[in-house]
Amino acid sequence: MAAGIDDISVYIPKLYLDAGDYALMRGVDATKLRDGLGVNQMAMVDSNQDPACLAANACLRIMQSNKLSPDDIGRLYVSTESSFDESKAMNSYVIGMLEQVYGQGSFEHCGGVETKFACVSGSYALYDNANWIRAGEAEGMNALVVVSDIAKYDKGSSGEMTQGAGAIAMLLNDEPRLLAFDPKVTATSIKDEYDFYRPFGKETPIVHGQYSNLLYLIQVRNALEIYKKKAAASGIISVGEGRSVLDYIDHLNMHLPYAKMGKKALAYLVRHEWRSLPRWKGVIDKVGMPEPVPKDPRGTIESILGDAEFMESDREFQKRFTRTDEFQEVYESKLASSLVASSMVGNLYTASLYLGFRSTIEFEFQKGADLEGQRFGFGSYGSGSSAMIFSGVIQPGYVQLARDMNLEAEIGPRKRLSADQYEMIHGNQLSPEESILSSSKEFVLVDVNTTPESRGQRR
Ligand code: CAA
């Protein structure tokens, strides 16, 4: 039985911090954000929004645009790393809000949980729900997987320039209009690591930025190796004879903590794949030899990070390599469209990969590309740390959906925050009643109650 993504909806909060304004505030060079990280604007939540509200808004959009009733939904999962409750799952908060529209008890037949593993948990939720469908348990119903996060870092930290917020809802069923997952190829890699984590009660994460970049690369490479074996066994690729697994992927979507990370990851994976192929010689002739890639991150990470010369020389090689026509061709044809939305919105943690997917479809379609039958690869990474690589094929029904995609309209008019407003929002100085925007027709917090009985009321 097929299983895949039938439709996708995006909800982005309507406040944003401009990269130039941030740079002025903190005294950093704006080109570091724009060119170095690929960050132009970062979406920010208002004081009356939390990740459950974002998730409920994305759910309502997808249900309304597909004229679905709660009876059509058999599973509702929320994946997040911005959880505010150690026990009650975020999907139950979301159901509570949706029942204000659809009637009390209307989701009673539905199942689901909140999933957590930093930014990768939404991919695990998609996989589990696809298997629920494949197992024949859905009985004609759909699964809703919602990825929702507020990426917030400490003031003045290196992560502060890679913030963002938003939610994406994905409708899954056995006749998907957008993308059917390739069966038996999903590959995972996992290891106990401390690159980025958020202990109980702490609002912002503890981050080892460069370490997290490197682990991201190593974990997706490990998962790609497993994907390669599974994809060869299932017959969708045939590596060897001068071909790389990446040659079979028409479009690659990577987790995007910031847009440039996608390009870094592509360059790293291309280097890894091409190294054993005849075409690598042509590249090396142009740009010279790279430094060797570390084999064991746990044993060598501190020395690598402390070894400025290694990092510098590898970065220098990466820069030379990414300027070659060979790399540029792969980048433009397989990745560039997925980065457009990220640079407008910033990091959405669990939702970043799927915003990239949505971005690829919209901007490739706008360019006149025919995506039907094309294979999309997904590279998901969650700190802590785990990676997942999987793929799927674009279905004929995508055209009908792609025609109506318009990210700018979906995001809607946004308000640019002043420096003072940003500092107040970041410092949690405003109550829900003091929100910067007055919202209508969307779920917002109307009260935050810290008594054990109720955390807050949403409308
Ligand atoms: N003009 C143009 N470019 C500039 C520049 C300037 N003035 N100054 C610096 N740059 C470039 C640098 O050369 C670099 O590019 P390359 O990597 O291609 O060489 C880029 O801008 C970034 O500069 P630094 O590496 O010096 O930046 P940093 O160390 O201050 O911060 C960061 C980068 C570590 C990613 C930081 O933003 C951070 O901690 N972010 C949060 C953690 C994160 O996003 N990790 C990603 C992997 S983990 C993950 O993916 C999970 C998740 O969602 C968080």
Cα(36) to ligand 1 centroid in Å equals 7
Give the separation between CA 216 and CA 272, rounded to whole angstroms. 14
Asked if residue 379 has its Cβ within 6 Å of ligand 1, the reply is no
Binned at pLDDT 50, 70 and 90, residue 310 comes out as: low
Cα(154) to ligand 1 centroid in Å equals 15
Asked if residue 31 has its Cβ within 6 Å of ligand 1, the reply is yes
Give the separation between CA 294 and CA 307, rounded to whole angstroms. 12
Give the separation between CA 245 and CA 19, rounded to whole angstroms. 36
Burial class of 379 by CB neighbour count within 10 A (0 to 12, 13 to 18, 19+)? buried
What is the pLDDT at residue 308? 53
What is the pLDDT at residue 448? 76
User: Pairing relation of β-strands 251-254 and 41-44?
Assistant: unpaired
Q: Which atom of ligand 1 is nearest to the CA of 157?
A: 39
Which three-class secondary structure string do you get for 190-248? ECCCCCEECCCCCCCCEECHHHHHHHHHHHHHHHHHHHHHHHHHCCCCCCECCECHHHH
Residues 16/166, Cβ–Cβ less than 8 Å: no
CB neighbours of residue 255 within 10 Å: 29
What is the pLDDT at residue 315? 78
Give the separation between CA 298 and CA 192, rounded to whole angstroms. 10
Binned at pLDDT 50, 70 and 90, residue 447 comes out as: confident
Asked if residue 381 has its Cβ within 6 Å of ligand 1, the reply is yes
**pTM above the 0.90 mark?**
yes
Asked if residue 357 has its Cβ within 6 Å of ligand 1, the reply is no
Q: End-to-end distance of the chain based on CA atoms, in angstroms?
A: 39
Share of the chain above pLDDT 70, in %: 92
Burial class of 373 by CB neighbour count within 10 A (0 to 12, 13 to 18, 19+)? exposed
Beta bridge partners of 207: 196
What is the pLDDT at residue 295? 54
Q: Which of 70-84, 195-209, 292-306, 320-334 has the lowest mean pLDDT?
A: 292-306
What is the pLDDT at residue 241? 78
Cα(99) to ligand 1 centroid in Å equals 42
Q: Which atom of ligand 1 is nearest to the CA of 315?
A: 19
What is the pLDDT at residue 8? 98
Provide the token pair at 286.
């142009």
DSSP 8-state class, residue 159? G
List the residue whose alpha carbon is closest to atom 20 of ligand 1: 36
Asked if residue 346 has its Cβ within 6 Å of ligand 1, the reply is no
User: Pairing relation of β-strands 41-44 and 15-18?
Assistant: antiparallel
Q: Which atom of ligand 1 is nearest to the CA of 349?
A: 53
Asked if residue 377 has its Cβ within 6 Å of ligand 1, the reply is no
Asked if residue 204 has its Cβ within 6 Å of ligand 1, the reply is no
Binned at pLDDT 50, 70 and 90, residue 456 comes out as: low
Residues 149/348, Cβ–Cβ less than 8 Å: yes
Mean pLDDT of 157-177: 98
Cα(92) to ligand 1 centroid in Å equals 36
Mean pLDDT of 78-88: 97
Beta bridge partners of 43: 16
Residue 100 or 239, more confident: 100
Give the separation between CA 392 and CA 4, rounded to whole angstroms. 8
pLDDT digit string (tens) for 246-268?
999 999 999 999 999 999 999 99
What is the pLDDT at residue 303? 56
Asked if residue 22 has its Cβ within 6 Å of ligand 1, the reply is no
Binned at pLDDT 50, 70 and 90, residue 292 comes out as: low
DSSP 8-state class, residue 391? E
Which residue is listed with tokens 């910033």? 346
List the residue whose alpha carbon is closest to atom 31 of ligand 1: 158
Q: Supply the Cα-derived Rg of the chain in whole angstroms.
A: 22
Mean pLDDT of 318-344: 96
Share of the chain above pLDDT 90, in %: 85
Cα(62) to ligand 1 centroid in Å equals 34
List the residue whose alpha carbon is closest to atom 50 of ligand 1: 257
pLDDT at 314 over 80: no
pLDDT at 301 over 70: no
Cα(37) to ligand 1 centroid in Å equals 6
- With the C-alpha atoms ordered 394, 398, 403, 406, is the resulting torsion angle positive or negative? negative
List the residue whose alpha carbon is closest to atom 16 of ligand 1: 36
Give the separation between CA 327 and CA 271, rounded to whole angstroms. 9
Cα(196) to ligand 1 centroid in Å equals 14
Side chain identity, residue 90: M
Residues 22/416, Cβ–Cβ less than 8 Å: no
For the chain, what's the residue count?
459
Provide the token pair at 295.
């084999």
Mean pLDDT of 306-314: 58
pLDDT digit string (tens) for 385-443?
999 999 999 999 999 999 999 999 999 899 999 999 999 999 999 999 999 999 888 99
Cα(116) to ligand 1 centroid in Å equals 25
pLDDT digit string (tens) for 358-380?
999 999 999 999 999 999 999 99
Cα(266) to ligand 1 centroid in Å equals 16
Asked if residue 196 has its Cβ within 6 Å of ligand 1, the reply is yes
Q: Which atom of ligand 1 is nearest to the CA of 264?
A: 18
Asked if residue 159 has its Cβ within 6 Å of ligand 1, the reply is yes
DSSP 3-state of 8: strand
In sequence order, the 6+-apart residues with CB closer than 8 A to the CB of 270 are 244, 246, 327, 330
Residues 80/121, Cβ–Cβ less than 8 Å: yes
